[in-house]
Chains A and B, each alone.
Chain A
Amino acid sequence: MANGFVHWGDKQALMLINQSHKAGESLTHALRSLTDVFGYIDERAITPLMQTFALSRAEILGVTSYYDDFRDTPPARHVIRLCQAEACQAVGGRELSTHLFAKTGLALGEAAKNGQVALEAVYCLGLCANGPAGQIDDKPAVHLDAAILDAKLAELDQ
């Protein structure tokens, strides 16, 4: 997939869950390794997670829902993450987000209908002396402005 993740596979998921468990790791470790590989945690992982970690469904969903990174649906092909935090606000980060919303008709956290591009909020990427900062797919981006983002959008929305 364009976003660098592989398609969900039950077998591989089971292997990852077992690996974590065997290594004496906790549930969050297993959720992390699933997310690293697939970009999300499919509903089909819940039963094996319950069995492996001897937890209830509610306990597992309680954990997945707590963390922003643990999604339950596959990520969009492309993701633009824009920093919303103070240091980026100081150099126009907010206005840039507003511009992007207007341009795409998307809100933060929303994927476009065709699943191509999603906008996500991020709170600081440690690039705070060179804001506005963001991430376009896996690439860190700094000194962002409307023109750069417009060009990126046009490129990604192919």
Chain B
Amino acid sequence: MNAQVFIPADTLAIALGADEIAAGFAAEAKARRQDIEIIRTGSRGLCWAEPLVEVNTPKGRVAYGNIAPGDVAGLFEAGILNGGTHKTCLGPVDDMPYLKTQLRFIFKNCGLYDPCDIDAYLSHGGFAGARAALAQKPENIVDEVEASGLRGRGGAGFPAAIKWRTVLGASAEQKYIVCNADEGDSGTFADRLIMEGDPFRLIEGMLIAGLAAGADKGVIYLRSEYPLARKVLEKAIAVAEQQNWLGADIQGSGKAFEISVFFGAGSYVCGEETALLESLEGKRGIVRSKPPIPALEGLNGQPTVINNVITLCAVPDILVKGGAWHAMLGVGRSTGTMTFQLAGDVKYGGLIEVPFGLSLSELIYGFGGGTRSGLAVKAVQVGGPLGAYLPPEQFDTPMDYEAFAAIGAGIGHGGIVVFNENTNMRALARYAFAFCAHESCGKCTPCRIGSMRGKELLAADHPDLELVHDLCEVMVEGSACAMGAMTPIPVQSAIAHFPDEFGTRTAQAAE
């Protein structure tokens, strides 16, 4: 058998030279007359070790981390094809603590094979969830998802089954499954990783949602910052069509489902579900008033399920293993696993899929190893640009929806951004207002004007914090969506935990 070499082909690995590394492996093998098979895979999500090259050996797959194109010749010298020792060797992948201590099911296959190789997907249990769904009544699929306790991973944590049941119960000419792949939150990349690395999982999740809700059309709203994900998804959709996992008569069941990809146009607020629908319909991405809810009047006025990428990717295993299995993972009403993403000034950043309930510090220090810079951690922002800044005193908070709500924070899409001791918290608070001003859809005055005003207020030497708080209150109360209503969270948490940085006398003296 040829030696198999696995080299990721996701956006991050490519930015770090993975294409050149692959070319180097091919050339070096040829020069040495060694037969190798190079397989371009998704990423394991170990961002700190990318490009992560793996070889198949009798001991299993052995990993080599942070490979540079210039390392290739040396790796061959060291006998990489037999898992030889080299300074970059991280040992058998399955023994790496970073992976071993995770509980992956959404990401279990990401990085194992060529993302568009449907046979590889099938041989790793792919489409078993869809098979189970094809054999069931729609109500039973929804029951299973309800029993799982699955909540939306896009930010709001809303139970998926409620939306699905509403759409199932609505009678209409056409129903839709819309996948929200707008992933606009800074510090998040789980959607990107899974779309680039295991796209059939998303296709399967959407198919199951379609079967459950009685929808035969799916749309993926993909942000334009992810051009590679677009290519991978379009290819995977074409392959799924050829193999009859999408189309008019899926696997001879008589059931139909098709998926198209819409490539966004650079607007954060289009991640909000109703702005997203407006955008798909050809309009400005302005948030709609609710009611009506999208489950009753969504895309083109038809009943529509809108779910985040990761929500949908959690579904196949729920159908295979049962809702009760999923409900046992996690804590309280935060069931299943969460795909956390460690980013910013962190030593070992990457994707961490674990059941809800781990503490922030286990993630930041246990997985993350503290800062990349070596400086002390000053704060983290959890849940994207609308998430709270939390100081180290709060790092023992367990990662679950309720515990976070209790401290006035949210988990959002699971992004955790680490900031070091040199961070200027006032600049971050000001940025939160500036970002809101930039992205506001303009519908509500408190959001559109308030954010501008907030940005100006925080630019003063001694900002009038009372005015800032009043402004925040108006934004919370007078905004139609979380953009305006939650921008006060990063602002006010920064002020609450780091008051010295907001122009008090002591801070002035220190500067």
Which residues in A have some Cβ–Cβ distance to B below 8 Å? 25-29, 31-32, 35-36, 53, 62-63, 66-70, 85-91, 94, 122-131, 133, 138-143
Whether A90 contacts B280 in the complex (CB less than 8 A), given A128-B343, A130-B50, comes out as no
Residues 257-282 (chain B) with a chain A CB within 8 angstroms = 262-268, 279-282
Find B417's partner among A69, A125, A128, A133 (CB 8 Å cutoff): A128
Find B282's partner among A53, A94, A124, A139 (CB 8 Å cutoff): A53
New contact pairs (15) apart from A66-B267, A129-B346, CB-CB < 8 Å: A26-B280, A28-B265, A28-B281, A32-B265, A69-B224, A69-B264, A86-B381, A88-B186, A90-B344, A90-B345, A90-B423, A124-B187, A126-B225, A129-B350, A130-B349
Q: Are A129 and B341 in contact (CB under 8 A)?
A: yes
List the count of A-B residue pairs having beta carbons below 8 Å apart: 145
Q: Are A124 and B184 in contact (CB under 8 A)?
A: yes
CB of B142 closer than 8 Å to a CB of A: no
Residues 301-327 (chain B) with a chain A CB within 8 angstroms = none
Q: Are A140 and B11 in contact (CB under 8 A)?
A: yes
Find A85's partner among B11, B186, B342 (CB 8 Å cutoff): B186
With CB as the reference atom, state the residue of chain B lying closest to A88: B186
With CB as the reference atom, state the residue of chain B lying closest to A66: B284
With CB as the reference atom, state the residue of chain B lying closest to A68: B266
Residues 347-387 (chain B) with a chain A CB within 8 angstroms = 349-350, 372-373, 381, 385
CB of B38 closer than 8 Å to a CB of A: no
Residues 272-296 (chain B) with a chain A CB within 8 angstroms = 279-285
Q: Are A87 and B192 in contact (CB under 8 A)?
A: no
CB of B189 closer than 8 Å to a CB of A: yes
Return B370 CB to nearest CB of chain A, in Å: 13
| Best-buried of A26, A36, A123 by chain B (most CB within 10 Å) | A123
Find A89's partner among B225, B265, B431 (CB 8 Å cutoff): B431
Give Cα A53 to B281, complex, Å: 12
Q: Are A68 and B349 in contact (CB under 8 A)?
A: no
Q: Which residues from A are CB-within-8-Å of B418? A: 90
Return A126 CB to nearest CB of chain B, in Å: 4
Return B229 CB to nearest CB of chain A, in Å: 9
Return A54 CB to nearest CB of chain B, in Å: 11
The 0/1 profile, CB within 8 Å of A marked 1, for residues 422-454 of chain B is 010001100100010000000000000000000
Whether A127 contacts B15 in the complex (CB less than 8 A), given A26-B282, A63-B283, A85-B186, comes out as yes
Q: Which residues from A are CB-within-8-Å of B14? A: 139-140
With CB as the reference atom, state the residue of chain B lying closest to A26: B282
Return B178 CB to nearest CB of chain A, in Å: 14
| Best-buried of B186, B284, B381, B417 by chain A (most CB within 10 Å) | B186
Q: Which residues from B are CB-within-8-Å of A127? A: 11-12, 15, 189
Return B424 CB to nearest CB of chain A, in Å: 9
Return B260 CB to nearest CB of chain A, in Å: 9
Q: Which residues from B are CB-within-8-Å of A88? A: 186
With CB as the reference atom, state the residue of chain B lying closest to A55: B282
Q: Are A28 and B12 in contact (CB under 8 A)?
A: no
Q: Are A69 and B423 in contact (CB under 8 A)?
A: no
Closest 10 CB pairs of A and B: A129-B349, A26-B282, A90-B344, A68-B266, A27-B282, A85-B186, A128-B343, A129-B47, A67-B265, A126-B189
